[in-house]
Structures are given as C-alpha cells and as structure tokens.
Amino acid sequence: MTTPDDATHQAPETGLSRRALLGLGGGIAAVAAAAGFGAARGTAAAAAPSAAPQPGTFAFTGAHQAGVVTPAQDRLYLAAFDVTTDSREELVALLRRWTTIAARLTQGLPAGPLGPASGPYDAPPDDTGEAADLPPAGLTLTFGFGRSLFVGTPGPDGTPGTDRFGLADRLPGGLVVLPHFSADDLDPARSDGDLVVQACADDPQVAVHAIRNLSRAAFGAATIRWTQLGYGRTSSTTTAQRTPRNLFGFKDGTANVKAEEEDALAAHVWVPADAADADAADGVDSAWLTGGTYLVARRIRMTIETWDRTSLREQETLVGRTKGEGAPLSGGTEHSEPDFTATGRGGAPLIAANSHVRLAHPDQNDGVRMLRRGYNFTDGNDALGRLDAGLFFLAFVRDPRTHFIPMQSRLSAQDGLMEYLEHTGSGLFAVPRGVPDGALVLGADGTPATTDDSPFVGQDLFA
Amino acid sequence: MTTPDDATHQAPETGLSRRALLGLGGGIAAVAAAAGFGAARGTAAAAAPSAAPQPGTFAFTGAHQAGVVTPAQDRLYLAAFDVTTDSREELVALLRRWTTIAARLTQGLPAGPLGPASGPYDAPPDDTGEAADLPPAGLTLTFGFGRSLFVGTPGPDGTPGTDRFGLADRLPGGLVVLPHFSADDLDPARSDGDLVVQACADDPQVAVHAIRNLSRAAFGAATIRWTQLGYGRTSSTTTAQRTPRNLFGFKDGTANVKAEEEDALAAHVWVPADAADADAADGVDSAWLTGGTYLVARRIRMTIETWDRTSLREQETLVGRTKGEGAPLSGGTEHSEPDFTATGRGGAPLIAANSHVRLAHPDQNDGVRMLRRGYNFTDGNDALGRLDAGLFFLAFVRDPRTHFIPMQSRLSAQDGLMEYLEHTGSGLFAVPRGVPDGALVLGADGTPATTDDSPFVGQDLFA
C-alpha cells in the first residue's frame, strides 16, 4: 500500500488547533492582538514580539467583511435565517452575539469556554466542541440582510409585509424582489430569508461547526430557514488560485473579478457612496451599506445524467470553451481573450451565438463583471436515482439591478446550457461593510467578548 | 489579512493531478505498475526505476478491498444501488466495468479519456471531468452486496422476493434482515440496496466524482437508490491518526480496531473460512466471502439542538468520558482503560450504568469489537429549522449476528444517549475480498481496461 503524501493527507491535522490555543494561556491574547483585535496591528506586533500570526486565519475586522475577496476556500456552509422575534432590541442583541462569536471562531477560538476548567459544569458548554482539535482552516463568516428584514414578507394575496424593526426607510434600492427568470422552479423552502451567514473554510467540519454555534446563539431570536453545503469551490478570487471545475466538468470563473483588481472591485463589487445619494432621492437612507456589497445566491440544479450523455462537441459548443484546457473555441489558452468574430468552416462563428462564454462576457453585458464565489453541491438523489447536484451560485455585486438581473435575464432566455439547468433556490442579501479594526470589545482573557456596547456587523443600519 | 498557512490551504492543489498524469505519457504505465497493476511490485519497480509511487494513492488490488483498514480519509460519499436488469450477464458486465473504473480512479486516472486528443469528439467523454485537475486525494472505492441481490425483496404481505440472478444458494449466513431496534425510525428511501459503493477521499469532490462516474457506467443496469455525503470522519483506523470528534463534540472511536492489530482484525473484521463451513451445513456455499467482511451502515440523526442545551455534566455522564480530553470518568487520559468498578461519593459508579462507554465496551459485549469508519453528516434542516445532522455509522465486522445485533440491541434499549439519537437509515452489505494483485487486464497504454475476461470485485460469487 502506497503511503499517501503527508502534505496532502495530513493537512487537517496540521496547524495550531483550538485546543492547543487554549492551552497556550497568554497565547490567546497574543494571537488575538496579532490578528488585529483591539489594537493597530503594528502596535500589537511590537507589544507581543513572540506572537506569530495564527496560521490559516483571516482577520474578521476591516473595511469590508471577510469572505468576499478572501481567497476562495474549498468548502461552504451557508444558512439563511428567519428572525422570530419582533423586538428590534433582541435583533440587535443577536447581531452583537454573532459578531463576537464570529470574531472568535474565525481566529480559531471556540465560541466560548468548553468545560469545567473555564466554565460552569452544570451549564451547557459555550462551544459545541466538534471542532476543538481542528485548525482554523481559513474560516470566514460573512453576514447579510434580506429584503424581508426591512419590509416583511408580502402575503399571498399581495398584502404588504410588516416593517417589524423600523427599517423600511433604510431599504437599499438594490435589495429588490428578483423577477422570475425562464429556468426558475424555485422552492420557497430553499429561498429568501431575513438574515444570511456564509461560512467558508477549507475543512467542512469547521464551516458546519460555525453555523451550528451561530444558530445556537440565535435561540429565541432566529431559526434556520434553509442551508446549503458546498463541497467544491467553483471560483477563484485571487490570481494565485487555480481555476476550479464545475459539475459540467468545465473550468469555471476564468474571468472572475479577482482580489488584486482594486479598480474592478470598486467598479463592480463594493457599493459606492453615490448609491446612497440615489436612494436619498427616494427618501431612503442607505448610507449604512456604502462599502458593503450584495450577495446573490442561486441554487442551480444540473441535469447531470443528461449532460453526461451529450457529446464532447456539444458540450464544448454550449460552453464556448474546450473542456480540457478551458481555452475559448476561438483559440489560445485558458486566459486568452475570446474572439467572438472568428469564424470557421461555412462562416459559422467559432464561438456560437448561444454559447455561455459569449452571453456572459462583459462585452455583451455593458461591461458588467461579478465576483463569483460559488460551490458544487450534491444533496442526495431523487426518486429516479438522479443526483440532486449542481452549482450553488454565489456572486457579490455592487447592484443586482445592473450586475445580475440583466445578465440572468439574457442567459435564462438564450443560453444553450439552460437546457441542463434548473434554478431551485434563490436569495438576495445586502452585505454591510466590516466591523472596523480595533472596534471589538475584549474580555479579561484578551479575547472578544459581548457587552451592551459591543460593535456589531451592520451596526450602522440601526444607528 | 493574515496569509493562510500554505500546507493547510493548498493541500488540494498539491500532488500530481490527473491532468499532469495524462501529460506524462509513459508515466501512466509506470504509475500503474508502481501501484501494483499487472505485476509484482518489486518487479515493477525494477522495470521502471524512475517511477515514484503516486502520492496520495492506495492500491486498489490486494487480499482485502481497500477502504476498510486504509487510514480513514476525511470525507465520504456512499451510494446504494438497485440493480434494474434481471440479467446475470449484465450484472457481471457492470461489475467488470466498475472494477476497471475503480482501479483507474483510485490511482488518479480518469474513468477514461477526456477528449479529442485521446477519444472520439462526437461521443460523450468517458470521464465527466470535474476532478481532472485534482490529486488522487487517497481515494478508495469499496464494493458490497445487499441481501436483496441474493433473494430479492419480500413483498409487503410477506411474499418472498425473487432470486433474479441465481444467487440464493450463495447467501452468506450473516447477511440477515436486521431486527427492529428501539430507536429505529427507518426511511426505506435511505435504507438497503442491492449494491453499495463506499467512496472515501480527502477531497469530497474526488469522492463524488467517483460515484458519479460509477453511476454513469451503471446506466441500464443499476440506478442509485440512496446516497450519503459525510464531511468529517469520526473514526481512526490507524494508531497514527488523531481521534476525531462526532457532533456531540466528543472524541469518537478511541477503542476502534486499528489496522496494526492484525490479530484483532482476524478475530473481529475479516470473515474466517469456518463461516463458510457453518453455511455449508445449511446447504449454502459462501466460500466466496472468506477474507471479506460485512459493512453495517446506519444513518443516525442526532437531536443537536436538544443536546446543545444539556449541561456539560449530563453530557459527560451519558458518554462516560470527559468532553475535552476524552478520558474515562474513572480517571486517566484518553487511552486509559475505563475502570467500571470505580465509585465516587455515595458509592455511585464513576462511569454510570447507562453510559455509552460502559454499554459499548468489549467487556460488556462478549469481547466483541468493531472496525468503525463513520462520518459526520449534515443534510440541511427540517421545517422547524433544526439541523438534519448526525453520525453516519459505518462498521466492518466479521458477522453482524455476533458483532452488531447484540450490541445494538443493548444500546438501543439502555444507552442514555439514545434520547438524543434516531436511526433514520440502515443497510447491511457483504463486502467480498479484493481483486488479487496482478489480476487486472491492462490496455495498450498500460492502464486498466475492461474485456470479457477482466477480473472483477466479487468474482467468486459468480463462479
């Protein structure tokens, strides 16, 4: 039996575990400081010269939330929540708790003490424990708000929803009701939600653990509406990442907006200040979302078995790229620019008019680009034995009215791939900017703690 | 932003990918040879001195199937199939195709050629492609046969099933109908099946890709009945592996049978020759299973939310171990032997009478041990927002009549943990011995190929 390569196999067991962190005593504060909690990073480094940055962590605080331009982790667990309280105070208290727990979990700390050495023995542990020996695995937690949080859910007869939290005049213009697209067969039980949390990590157990502990902290204030596990990333968000493949077997996201493209991020991903100016003309104060973004989530089931019986020629024609290299059918290599004018025998375009690469290209979409961050999913099978599998599409955009709806309208009507696709779930969320560096409240042990004054994600929405 | 640790984050991108392998030309044969295909390993190494063992692979051939004592990989995808043909020849042809494809996939090769450089352009590619750039990730594929393959499925009125393939007199004694256990609420759509394939790998996309391609090769002969994705291993199968945690947050499988314990494997896991002798007395020829094993699969849903509200004291009392270290409540460390006679204040046993560790201990079960290989799962949520999550229990045993049914009867009746458990799916499968080293037929390019004479997993059942 060949011994597996250590670097490949042992990865989840390398790195500093949560347990090791706890055992370090003073190390907790040092790590927290090095990660940017409560102090400017340079100062912290000077104060704790022996503290190495915690491997496998991304800072929770910053101008933007982590989990957008962060190098796309391998695994996803995403949960949408319904808020069950009508109390604005309880909603704010939930967001405070979530912020503290997220700041802890993303730095490799447990949600709270695990046991009797540090907590009461006759109470439940503050952390559920199943990630206690695992490294941080690059966990990011990204929070967003659904339209129903602002204006409630309309009744089936069209009666308006209820503004439970006094937020109706804060509803940003982009948080619209998405129109019906041709390939939609949406399941309400897999769609919408008042709140969303995207957990990304390189270990799925770390992502699921995070959602479980946040869900637990929501007891009495919010319950899970739907969740989605994604096991393979289908996008790269940095130029250093290899382009991954979707379940059609094709490379996906070659033309994605990348973290290094600051101008493109400003133009296509982050909500600009002038969006609030436009909303102000409609009597809405959406300045709280400046510097944030919108998350479009679409559960796209693929008819895998049908696709697998089509010829390679048909597959490549529909995508507009080669399957192996991912090169445009007009020639070159993966990152060559497609030449939509190139023709072959009989004058037919080498890249077909109904190919995905043509219809989704910025040249065909008023120059619009997205930052995609989707994942492959497989949720068992249907009664006919067909895999319930596909792409859980996630995209971050500055405004879905310009950056999602037009393109999706075109694709759903014209893209030849749509024959193999069915949209079965949908969500749109406003993703507020990040909690500023240095804003978190630290407890006696130097780790993030929740108080009545703790900052929280989305705080400016409630100001 | 802290840069994540490369060893942790880049693991899925390290190692030799399938695409790189294909590009190596002669490297394919060298790798195949080094992995034990078609030649004794020593000879192959001598013949191809430049061939390094393919990192991250386990040999497919051998006395036993891989995926039992193989160091437990991090992720699982398991599929049970219904055979849809009544033809014994078509069933055998399926097993031949599966054997060849499994031999290829486990060595990091695609199921077959991907595209026009090596295959027809107007036919579907032989491999679906989504793992083309991924390393082998330690993939193992383990095949088993359900009782219904031998004797069909009884009707609801108790009428006997049909022996479609002339296998009724080969039904091994251990392949029984499991009795109803107290905590059972079994869903037929998550239970049983004629065939099972367990795919384990360190990358879930590699495991799902394998099942998808095997399912595709089954077209017209078998369809998927149910599948289960497992994202975190809950057992160690070698002494070098860290003990993982289940979703109760406790270490699991501390007392598991390990690959290094050859005597224990012979006593508890591999089917001995005298099992066939006993079956022969009943007029059954089960010698084909000697050296194989039985796989017990149980989908155990945990009432996570209720568990999370119990005190640490209650949790530890029910398990009989500490949550942090995993030490028996009688003292010591994780691997200390529990002292069931130790008493505390008032003479009460330190390890409670209804604790899991006591009821499952070999001393309480006629010395019986299992090789467990389970995984944590999370399959969305129910209508109340509760996670549909738990433990997908997998155990390999020499005879379920002695090594599973008695213990599960005791646990389901007495174990205090059962209050938090519900068995929602169940399967029992006979796992034949391995395809012998050197038996595979190699094609012109030196990789495994299917012919009318190809050996196949379970071949002796049909001899």
HSE-up of residue B390 (Cα within 13 Å, Cβ side): 24
Q: Could you give phi then psi for residue B220, rounded to 5 degrees?
A: 85, -10
Q: Do A122 and B246 touch (CB under 8 A)?
A: no
Nearest-angstrom CA–CA distance, A432 and B380? 26
pLDDT higher than threshold 70 for residue B42: no
Whether this model's ipTM surpasses 0.90 comes out as no
Nearest to A303 by CA among A245, A219, A188, A386: A386
Please give the C-alpha separations between residue A31 and each of A53, B364, B449, in angstroms, as whole numbers.
6, 46, 54
State the pLDDT at residue A255: 79
Nearest to A279 by CA among A387, A201, A363, A169: A169
State the pLDDT at residue B120: 66
Q: Which chain A residues contact residue B137 at CB under 8 A?
A: 8
Nearest-angstrom CA–CA distance, B395 and B256? 10
Nearest-angstrom CA–CA distance, A56 and B13? 16
Tell me the three state secondary structure of residue A380. Answer: strand
CA angle A162, A226, A428 (to 5 degrees): 60
- Chain B nearest-CA distance from A384, in A, is 8
Minimal Cβ distance to A249: which of B82, B128, B381: B128
Nearest-angstrom CA–CA distance, B74 and A135? 14
For B36-57, letters b (16+ CB in 10 Å) and e give bbbbebeebeeebeebebbbbb
C-alpha A353: how far from chain center: 31
Tell me the three state secondary structure of residue A206. Answer: helix
Nearest-angstrom CA–CA distance, B350 and B352? 6
Nearest-angstrom CA–CA distance, B309 and A418? 46
Which residue do the tokens 């068992």 mark?
Answer: A380
Nearest-angstrom CA–CA distance, A70 and A289? 19
Inter-residue contact A112 to A18 (CB < 8 Å)? no
Minimal Cβ distance to A2: which of B1, B59, B245: B59
Nearest-angstrom CA–CA distance, B20 and B108? 10
Nearest-angstrom CA–CA distance, A305 and A327? 25
- Chain A nearest-CA distance from B208, in A, is 8
Please give the C-alpha separations between residue B270 and each of B276, B398, B430, in angstroms, as whole numbers.
12, 5, 11
Nearest-angstrom CA–CA distance, B67 and B83? 23
Could you tell me the residue ranges of all domains in chain A?
65-293+432-439+447-462, 302-429
Q: Do A216 and B305 touch (CB under 8 A)?
A: yes
- Assigned token pair, A96: 């405070």
Largest CA distance in chain B: 79
Q: Is B267 exposed, middle or buried (0-12, 13-18, 19+ CB in 10 A)?
A: middle
What is the DSSP code (8-state) at residue A319?
Answer: H
Q: Which residue of B has its CA nearest to A305?
A: B216
Inter-residue contact B254 to B245 (CB < 8 Å)? no
Q: Which chain A residues contact residue B223 at CB under 8 A?
A: 384-385
Q: Which residue of B has its CA nearest to A65?
A: B1
Minimal Cβ distance to A124: which of B116, B228, B311: B311
Chain A interface, best mutation among B9, B58, B121, B307, by max A CB count within 10 A: B9
Q: Which chain A residues contact residue B315 at CB under 8 A?
A: 124-125
Q: Which chain A residues contact residue B437 at CB under 8 A?
A: none
Which residue do the tokens 């309280």 mark?
Answer: A85
CA angle A10, A13, A18 (to 5 degrees): 165
Nearest-angstrom CA–CA distance, A244 and A76? 15
Q: Which chain B residues contact residue A4 at CB under 8 A?
A: 55-58, 71, 138, 202
Q: Which chain B residues contact residue A218 at CB under 8 A?
A: none
Nearest-angstrom CA–CA distance, A167 and B64? 64
CA Rg, chain B, in Å? 23
Inter-residue contact A422 to A400 (CB < 8 Å)? no
Report the predicted TM-score, pTM, of the whole model to 2 decimal places. Answer: 0.90
Q: Do B122 and A312 touch (CB under 8 A)?
A: yes
DSSP string, A321-360: B-SSS--BTTSS-TTSPP-TT-B-GGG-BSS-TT-HHHHT
Q: Which residue of A has its CA nearest to B211?
A: A387
| H or E stretch at B98 | helix B88-105
Q: Which residue of B has its CA nearest to A116?
A: B312
- Assigned token pair, B166: 């002339």
Minimal Cβ distance to B8: which of A55, A124, A208: A55
State the pLDDT at residue A121: 81
Q: Do A324 and B132 touch (CB under 8 A)?
A: yes
State the pLDDT at residue A254: 77
Tell me the three state secondary structure of residue A6. Answer: helix
pLDDT higher than threshold 70 for residue B341: yes
- Chain A nearest-CA distance from B368, in A, is 27
Inter-residue contact B271 to B372 (CB < 8 Å)? no
Inter-residue contact B84 to B165 (CB < 8 Å)? no
Per-residue pLDDT of chain A (463 residues; tens, 9 = 90+): 333 333 333 333 334 455 444 433 333 333 333 333 322 222 222 233 333 446 799 999 999 999 999 999 999 999 999 999 999 999 999 999 999 999 999 999 999 877 655 556 888 999 999 999 999 999 999 999 999 999 999 998 989 999 999 999 999 999 999 999 998 999 999 999 999 999 999 999 999 999 999 999 999 999 999 999 999 999 999 999 999 999 999 998 777 999 999 999 999 999 999 999 999 999 999 999 999 999 999 999 999 999 999 999 999 999 999 999 999 999 999 999 999 999 998 999 999 999 999 999 998 899 999 999 999 999 999 989 999 999 999 999 999 999 999 999 999 999 999 999 999 999 999 999 999 999 999 988 899 999 999 999 999 999 9
Q: Which chain A residues contact residue B71 at CB under 8 A?
A: 4, 9
- A346: how many CB neighbours lie within 10 A of its CB? 5
Minimal Cβ distance to A231: which of B2, B15, B204: B204
